[in-house]
C-alpha cells in the first residue's frame, strides 16, 4: 500500500511537467507534450511533437509532394524504452506556383507512442528528442530543435495530464482511420491511375474526395483528380508522373473527404490500400448525391455566377455600353418588334458561343496535358500587358 501511495504522489508531483517549455526557432515554436502524466510499465504512452508555424509558413507530410521534406524525430530514451512511428495527420494540398505540396500550416501535432519496458521501475525519467523539419513560405528553411520532457513511470493507472486533453483530442480527430467494410481496387493504364471505392450495403461515399498517395514521385500532384460517381461509390482518375512498372501490386494512401466519411464516425480521412487489377468494370449509374452536397454546391455555384454577372454588367465601364447597344437595336429595328427580337437573339447567341468557344479551347488544352483552369489567360504577363494597354 505504501508503495502505491508513493507512486501516486510521484504522479501528482510530476503532472504539471507533462508539457515542457517550448523551443523557438526562426519560424516555428516546437515542444514535446505528453497525453498522460506518467506511463505504466510495458504500456504505451502517447507523446506529441507540437509545431506551431508562423503565419503563411508550412511544414510537410510524410509524402511532401513536389518539393519539401517530412519532419523527422530522433528519440533519446531511457534504457529499454521503444518509440513507435509518427502518426501523421491528414495533410493539406498546398499549391506553390506550378508545384503541389502536401503539408501543414498554422499548427500540427505529430503523435508517437513511447513504451517503457515491462520491468521499468517507478520514478522520474526524461524523454529527449531531436526534431528536424523544413519550413517554407516563399523560401524554405531547414530548422531543428533539441527537446526534452520530464516524465515518469508509475505503478498504477496513468492519469491524464492536466490541460492537455483538448490538444490530443484535436490531434486525434485529424488522424486517418483504416477503411473497413468497403471494396476498393485500382487499375493503371499508361499514365492514368483509376481508383474505385464502393461502400458496404446501405453506405454511400462522400460527394468529393481527394487521393494523397504514400508513395513519392508516383502521381502528378498538381494535375486535377477527376471524380466520377459509381453507384453509391466513387472513382478517381489520377494522372501519374510516368508509366509505372507492370509488377506494382498495390496502391496505398489517404482518401480525404471535403466534408466527412459518414460510415467512419464522421472522420475526414481514411487510410486505404487498393490492389492493382488488370481492368475495372464499367461504372454503375450514380445513385443520388450524399447529404445533398452536390446539389447544394451546384446551386451555390449558379448563385455566385449570377451575382458575378450582375456585378460585371452593372459596372460604370460596362452598363452604359450595354445601353448604347440596346438603343442601337431599337434604331435599326425601325419599330419592327420581330427585327428587334431577332437582333437581341443574335447578340445573345454571340455571347454564349464566345464563352463556349473559350470553354472548348480550355478543354482541348487540358486534354493535351496543359494544367489550366478558368482565367488561365490572366496568368500570362503578355495577356495582362495587352489588357492594360487597351
Res. 1: pLDDT tops 60: no
Residues 133-169: tens digit of each pLDDT: 999 998 999 999 999 999 999 877 777 777 899 999 9
CB 28 within 8 A of CB 53: yes
* Segment 291-296 long-range contacts (CB within 8 Å, at least 24 positions apart): 291/207, 291/259, 291/262, 293/206, 293/207, 293/208, 293/258, 293/259, 294/207
DSSP E strands, the chain: 23-24, 28-34, 45-53, 58-65, 72-76, 82-83, 92-96, 99-105, 107-115, 123-136, 140-153, 177-178, 183-189, 192-198, 209-213, 226-230, 233-239, 250-257, 269-277
Q: Global pTM?
A: 0.71
Span of 29-43, 77-91, 232-246 with lowest mean pLDDT: 232-246
Helix, strand, coil percentages (3-state) for the chain, rounded to 5, are 30, 35, 35
Domain residue spans of the chain: 2-175, 178-290, 315-389
Would 2-175 and 178-290 be classified into the same CATH topology?
yes
What is the average pLDDT value for the chain, to the nearest integer? 85
Tell me what pLDDT residue 370 has.
56
pLDDT digits (tens, 9 = 90+) for 309-318: 778 777 777 7
CA 386 – CA 390 distance, rounded (Å) = 6
CATH of segment(s) 178-290: 2.60.40
* pLDDT tens-place string over residues 252-285: 999 999 888 877 777 899 999 999 998 998 887 7
Q: Is 138 helix (H, G, I), strand (E, B) or coil?
A: coil
Residue range 120-125: average pLDDT?
94
pLDDT at site 291: 45
Higher pLDDT, 330 or 206: 206
Q: Which residues contact 322 (CB under 8 A, 6 or more apart)?
A: 313
Whether the per-residue pLDDT at 110 is higher than 60: the answer is: yes
| pLDDT for position 288 | 52
pLDDT (mean) for 318-347: 77
Could you tell me the three cell numbers for 330? 431599337
- Residue 126, beta-bridge partner list: 150
Rounded CA separation 143/389 (Å):
46
Let me know: does 129 contact 49? Beta carbons within 8 Å: yes
CATH class, range 2-175: mainly beta
Condensed to tens digits (0 to 9), the pLDDT of residues 45-94 reads 999 999 999 999 999 999 999 999 999 999 999 999 999 999 999 999 99
pLDDT of residue 237: 94
351 CB-side CA count, 13 A: 7
pLDDT given at position 292: 46
CB 235 within 8 A of CB 228: yes
Please check whether residue 251 is in contact with residue 273, taking contact to mean a CB–CB distance below 8 angstroms. yes
Selected residue with higher pLDDT from 291 and 377 = 377
- Beta strands 269-277 and 183-189 are parallel
Amino acid at each position: 500500500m505504501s508503495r502505491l501511495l508513493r507512486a501516486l504522489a510521484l504522479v501528482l508531483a510530476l503532472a504539471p511537467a507533462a508539457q515542457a517549455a517550448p523551443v523557438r526557432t526562426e519560424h516555428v515554436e516546437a515542444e514535446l507534450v505528453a497525453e498522460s502524466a506518467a506511463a505504466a510499465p510495458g504500456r504505451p504512452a502517447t507523446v506529441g511533437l507540437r509545431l506551431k508555424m508562423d503565419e503563411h509558413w508550412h511544414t510537410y507530410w510524410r509524402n511532401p509532394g513536389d518539393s519539401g521534406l517530412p519532419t523527422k524525430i530522433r528519440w533519446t530514451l531511457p534504457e529499454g524504452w521503444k518509440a513507435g512511428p509518427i502518426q501523421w495527420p491528414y495533410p493539406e494540398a498546398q499549391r506553390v506556383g506550378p508545384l503541389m505540396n502536401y503539408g501543414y500550416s498554422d499548427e500540427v501535432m505529430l503523435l508517437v507512442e513511447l513504451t517503457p519496458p515491462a520491468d521499468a521501475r517507478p520514478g522520474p525519467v526524461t524523454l529527449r528528442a531531436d526534431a528536424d523539419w523544413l519550413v517554407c513560405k516563399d523560401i524554405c528553411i531547414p530548422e531543428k530543435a533539441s527537446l526534452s520532457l520530464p516524465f515518469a513511470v508509475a505503478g498504477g493507472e496513468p492519469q491524464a495530464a492536466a490541460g492537455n486533453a483538448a490538444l490530443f483530442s484535436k490531434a486525434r480527430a485529424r488522424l486517418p482511420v483504416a477503411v473497413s467494410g468497403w471494396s476498393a481496387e485500382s487499375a493503371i493504364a499508361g499514365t492514368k491511375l483509376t481508383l474505385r471505392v464502393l461502400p458496404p450495403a446501405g453506405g454511400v461515399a462522400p460527394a468529393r474526395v481527394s487521393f494523397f498517395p504514400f508513395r513519392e514521385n508516383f502521381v502528378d500532384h498538381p494535375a486535377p483528380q477527376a471524380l466520377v460517381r459509381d453507384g453509391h461509390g466513387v472513382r478517381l482518375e489520377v494522372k501519374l508522373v510516368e508509366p509505372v512498372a507492370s509488377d506494382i501490386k498495390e496502391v496505398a494512401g489517404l482518401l480525404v473527404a471535403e466534408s466527412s466519411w459518414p460510415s467512419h464516425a464522421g472522420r475526414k480521412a481514411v487510410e486505404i490500400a487498393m490492389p492493382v487489377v488488370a481492368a475495372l468494370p464499367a461504372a454503375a449509374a450514380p445513385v443520388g448525391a450524399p447529404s445533398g452536397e452536390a446539389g447544394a454546391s451546384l446551386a451555390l455555384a449558379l448563385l455566385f455566377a449570377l451575382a458575378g454577372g450582375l456585378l460585371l454588367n452593372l459596372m460604370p465601364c460596362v452598363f452604359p455600353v450595354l445601353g448604347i447597344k440596346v438603343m442601337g437595336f431599337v434604331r435599326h429595328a425601325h419599330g419592327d418588334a420581330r427585327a428587334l427580337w431577332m437582333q437581341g437573339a443574335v447578340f445573345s447567341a454571340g455571347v454564349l458561343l464566345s464563352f463556349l468557344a473559350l470553354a472548348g479551347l480550355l478543354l482541348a488544352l487540358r486534354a493535351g496535358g496543359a494544367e489550366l483552369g478558368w482565367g488561365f489567360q490572366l496568368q500570362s504577363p503578355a495577356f495582362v500587358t495587352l489588357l492594360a494597354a487597351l
